[in-house]
């Protein structure tokens, strides 16, 4: 999961899914290019999504030829638990 968060593009993907959850690959590609100035290709974004899914930060749901991506911030809880953040 930590390696998944290490890439700036993947973090922007999580930002975009936070703002609008359940996007398809193409939706993400266009919106990332528009609002976040991400120039990556479709394949690059797809591979990033695979990494995020492997890290448990993104879940997917298939419907016909569309695949929707949802953010899951659950794994992030482990960070604050591992290194207690004093308030």
| 70 binding partner (options DNA, a copy of itself, none; Cβ < 5 to 8 Å by kind) | none
| CA distance linking residue 30 with residue 23, whole number of Å | 11
* Contacts (CB under 8 A) with a copy of itself, residues 26-65: none
Concatenated DSSP letters of 60-71:
EEEETTEEEEEE
74: which 2 tokens? 């659950």
| 25 binding partner (options DNA, a copy of itself, none; Cβ < 5 to 8 Å by kind) | DNA
**Cα 29 off chain centre by:** 12
Binding-site ranges for a copy of itself (CB under 8 A)? 2-3, 5-6, 11, 14-15, 18, 71, 73-74, 76-77, 79-80, 82-86
């Amino acid at each position: 999961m930590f390696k998944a968060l290490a890439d700036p593009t993947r973090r922007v993907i999580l930002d975009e899914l936070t703002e609008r959850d359940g996007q398809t690959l193409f939706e993400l590609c266009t919106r990332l290019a528009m609002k976040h100035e991400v120039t990556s290709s479709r394949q690059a974004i797809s591979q990033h999504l695979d990494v995020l899914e492997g890290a448990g930060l993104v879940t997917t749901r298939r419907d016909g030829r569309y695949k929707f991506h949802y953010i899951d911030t659950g794994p992030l809880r482990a960070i604050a638990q591992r290194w207690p953040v004093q308030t």
